[in-house]
């Protein structure tokens, strides 16, 4: 065997080893979930975890991201938490608006009045209140639809994160209560 053939075989061998190392590293980056991140996110998914605990777990998890898979799973988890929180805030806002509209509806109610002018004022107030109530109902229904949509998206992402961490999916009733946290 001449020297140039040996060099060519050695170069091919080096190229094959190099390419397989690069391929292995890329596969590692796409599929491997770091054990530290997995433990942290699993703890964050615990039903007894409070909102403050979850925020601490997320902060810790950001420091534990080592692979592309880690970043992807953490991003899904953060999105899930944000959507669940947004849906909860929207539901609370709809509730508060409903309470305030009930109070606003009572302001036109008065005692029986004897003058035509006072009766006309009450009727005008009732018409204005009716128009305001319709506007608020439309706003409430839009906010409620958005809250349901975000809640549904949060539940879906929550299930995906559980699957990525190797946890079994929750039954529908448990998933609903966790998504609203």
For 112-148, what is each residue's pLDDT tens digit? 545 666 666 666 776 777 777 777 777 777 777 887 8
Check if the beta carbon of residue 144 is closer than 8 Å to that of residue 94. yes
pLDDT in tens, 59-115: 999 998 888 888 888 998 998 888 888 888 877 777 777 666 665 555 555 555 456
Q: Which residue has the higher pLDDT, 110 or 57?
A: 57
Q: Output the six-digit token pair for 13.
A: 């061998």
Average pLDDT over residues 11-21: 76
CA distance 80 to 161: 9
| Phi, psi (degrees; rounded to nearest 5) at 120 | -65, -40
To the question of pTM greater than 0.75 for the whole model, the response is: no
Q: How far apart are the first and last CA of the chain?
A: 72
CA distance 22 to 105: 69
């Amino acid at each position: 065997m001449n020297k140039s053939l040996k060099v060519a075989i050695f170069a091919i061998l080096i190229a094959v080893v190099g390419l397989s190392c690069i391929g292995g590293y890329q596969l590692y980056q796409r599929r491997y979930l770091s054990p530290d991140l997995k433990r942290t996110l699993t703890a964050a998914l615990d039903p007894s975890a409070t909102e403050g605990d979850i925020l601490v777990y997320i902060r810790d998890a950001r420091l534990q991201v080592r692979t592309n898979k880690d970043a992807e799973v953490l991003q899904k988890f953060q999105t899930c938490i944000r959507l669940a929180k947004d849906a909860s805030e929207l539901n609370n806002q709809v509730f508060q608006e409903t309470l305030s509209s009930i109070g606003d509806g009572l302001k036109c109610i008065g005692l029986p009045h004897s003058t035509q002018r006072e009766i006309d004022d009450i009727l005008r107030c009732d018409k204005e209140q009716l128009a305001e109530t319709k506007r608020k109902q439309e706003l409430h229904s839009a906010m409620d639809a958005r809250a349901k949509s975000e809640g549904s998206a949060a539940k879906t992402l929550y299930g995906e994160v559980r699957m990525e961490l190797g946890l079994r999916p929750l039954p529908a009733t448990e998933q609903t209560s966790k998504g609203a946290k």
